[in-house]
Amino acid sequence: MKRLHRNPSEGKIAGVCAGIGNYFDIDPVIVRLCFLFTLFLGCGLLVYIIAWIIVPKDTMKAMYPGSAKTA
């Protein structure tokens, strides 16, 4: 089963956008642009911080970046 995890090895700050991009099979840049757009609306930073706290870190990719399965 596919699970949502932060991916700090591929992320810019905390790996939230990279993890969401991997989960939905889209480019993390698109997710980052969506967060940037919501930042201008005033709720993006709050959403990002909440996701940073709630979404667990992918420890397998953080420890062994090439060994995690991507299925």
More confident residue, 11 or 23: 23
pLDDT at 8 over 60: yes
**One-character DSSP codes across 17-34:** HHHHHHHHTS-HHHHHHH
pLDDT value at position 64? Answer: 53
Rounded CA separation 15/36 (Å): 15
End-to-end CA distance of the chain: 9
The ranges assigned to domains in the chain are: 16-62
Per-residue model confidence as pLDDT tens digits over 20-40: 888 889 998 898 888 888 888
Per-residue model confidence as pLDDT tens digits over 39-60: 888 777 888 888 888 888 877 6
Whether the predicted model's global pTM rises above the 0.95 cut: no
- Region of 46 (left: φ > 0; alpha: ψ -120 to 50; beta: rest) is alpha
* C-alpha atoms less than 13 angstroms from C-alpha of 30 in its C-beta half-sphere: 7
